[in-house]
């Protein structure tokens, strides 16, 4: 294990081997990577462990420098493990480059079915035994990480001393159709709020969409910027400063050239990292699968349900005088046509969308009998996770203490510095 220092903290790299399929423990093994973070002043102390589960699915854990955001509060009390969930970051990555080794699309889809919350929690339990000697630890889950924590409470609560969830209390029984049927009105509200803040962006977005309707742009790296892809920049609107980021992207979209107005290089270069899934392909491939259970396929739920909300149709908006609405955290078949990081995985994604034999993710009876201290931050009108669903689940988990706030957006645990984590710890410890 290699240890090194950053301002105020000591970091140690950990590598763990776990079964690809925990039901076949003697079969193929994969590697997990975790970065231990401890306050420099407490590097030699025996402190309890906290494992952090990042949002996603498919996102590697954030690479912090020092102890910003919630991490500074966490290392006051804990030795923190920043875990790259299976398939992400340095944990045996899964991508268009690696998956062909599995065989064709059917083999790839069967393989990726082992990368949901159920496997992630079993990975955590394997890691916990090695790090703590079997002692329970605290888990902090952001967004999809909170979905994983809810599964943890359903299947292995004996491994948890405390459970903390931020923006990630899932519905226990909603199908993906239900999730998106509730999501599109929230997305519309976020887009309308953006235009209310920046009314000049209404015309800018219409102009960009009209340009792309005639001439889709090929971005650096090969991404094809279509009208639908442009609308998906609305994924920014779920974070605290996302509306401002979107505004700054739009204000420099065009440049005058000898051939007329063109999309500027600066705009195209700014858009590319927001839209490309090159760094997190599992987010796209497995996104709807995080809602899959109960014997029903997801069947491209976001795409099908969008048809129920014609106000998102850009062609209709451009034909009249309506604003072009942005969309948000939705994955569509066209993602696998415009993004070179996803094109080779189109058939694999189709098979996952058609799959119906997903195992249940949550155990309502066990959650109703919960004995683990649980605290959850629920962000009012969160664009990514439905508030009503979160509050129903909060009531279904025995002893869960919820904090509903409109002070922050979905990224509150990062944007608030130590405040959100400090509040959750106080709730879980019955200090509030």
Residues annotated catalytic, as ranges: 143, 357, 410
Q: 141 with 107: CB under 8 angstroms?
A: no
Using CB atoms within 10 A of its CB, is residue 134 exposed (0-12), middle (13-18) or buried (19+)? exposed
Distances (CA, A) of 105 to 45, 102, 344, 352: 49, 9, 9, 10
Q: Which of 308, 93, 74, 274 is nearest to 184 (CA)?
A: 308
How many other β-carbons are positioned within 10 Å of the β-carbon of residue 218? 12
Task: Tell me the two tokens of residue 35.
Answer: 């970065």
137-142 vs 49-53, strand pairing mode: parallel
Cα three-residue angle 275-280-281, rounded to 5 degrees: 85
Task: Tell me the two tokens of residue 372.
Answer: 């683990």
Q: How far apart are CA 400 and CA 393, in angstroms?
A: 9
Q: How far apart are CA 173 and CA 386, in angstroms?
A: 13
């Amino acid at each position: 294990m290699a240890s090194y220092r950053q301002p105020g903290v000591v970091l140690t790299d950990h590598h763990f081997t776990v079964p690809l399929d925990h039901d076949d423990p003697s079969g193929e093994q994969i590697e997990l990577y975790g970065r231990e973070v401890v306050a420099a002043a407490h590097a030699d102390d025996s402190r309890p462990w906290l494992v952090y589960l990042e949002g996603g699915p498919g996102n590697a854990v954030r690479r912090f420098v020092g102890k910003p955001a919630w991490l500074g509060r966490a290392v006051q009390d804990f030795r923190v493990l920043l875990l790259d969930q299976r398939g992400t970051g340095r944990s045996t990555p899964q991508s268009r480059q690696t998956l062909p080794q599995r065989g064709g699309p059917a083999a790839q889809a069967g393989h990726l079915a082992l990368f949901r919350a159920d496997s992630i929690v079993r990975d955590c339990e394997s890691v916990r035994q090695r790090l703590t000697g079997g002692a329970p630890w605290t888990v902090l889950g952001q967004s999809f990480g909170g979905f994983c924590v809810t599964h943890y409470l359903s299947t292995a609560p004996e491994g948890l001393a405390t459970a903390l969830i931020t923006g990630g209390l899932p519905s226990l029984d909603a199908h993906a159709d239900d999730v998106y049927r509730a999501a599109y009105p929230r997305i519309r509200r976020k887009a309308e709020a953006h235009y209310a803040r920046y009314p000049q962006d209404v015309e800018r977005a219409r102009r960009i969409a009209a340009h792309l309707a005639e001439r889709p742009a090929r971005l650096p790296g090969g991404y094809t910027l279509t009208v639908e892809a442009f609308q998906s920049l609305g994924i920014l609107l779920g974070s605290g400063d996302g509306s401002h980021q979107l505004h700054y992207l739009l204000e420099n979209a065009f440049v005058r050239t000898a051939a007329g107005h063109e999309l500027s290089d600066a705009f195209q270069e700014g858009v590319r990292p927001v839209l490309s899934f090159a760094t997190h392909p599992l987010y796209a491939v497995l996104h709807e699968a995080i809602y899959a259970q109960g014997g029903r396929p997801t069947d491209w739920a976001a795409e099908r349900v969008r048809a129920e909300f014609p106000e998102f149709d850009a062609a209709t908006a451009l034909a009249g005088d309506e604003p072009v609405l942005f969309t948000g955290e939705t994955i569509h078949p066209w993602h696998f046509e415009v993004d070179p990081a996803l094109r080779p995985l189109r058939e694999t994604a189709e098979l996952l969308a058609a799959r119906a034999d997903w195992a249940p993710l949550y155990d309502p009876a066990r959650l109703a009998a919960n004995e683990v201290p649980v605290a959850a931050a629920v962000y009012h009108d969160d664009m990514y996770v439905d508030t009503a669903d979160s509050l129903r689940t909060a009531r279904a988990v025995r002893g869960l203490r919820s904090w509903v706030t409109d002070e922050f957006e979905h990224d509150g645990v990062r944007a608030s510095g130590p405040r959100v984590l400090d509040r959750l710890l106080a709730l879980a410890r019955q200090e509030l």
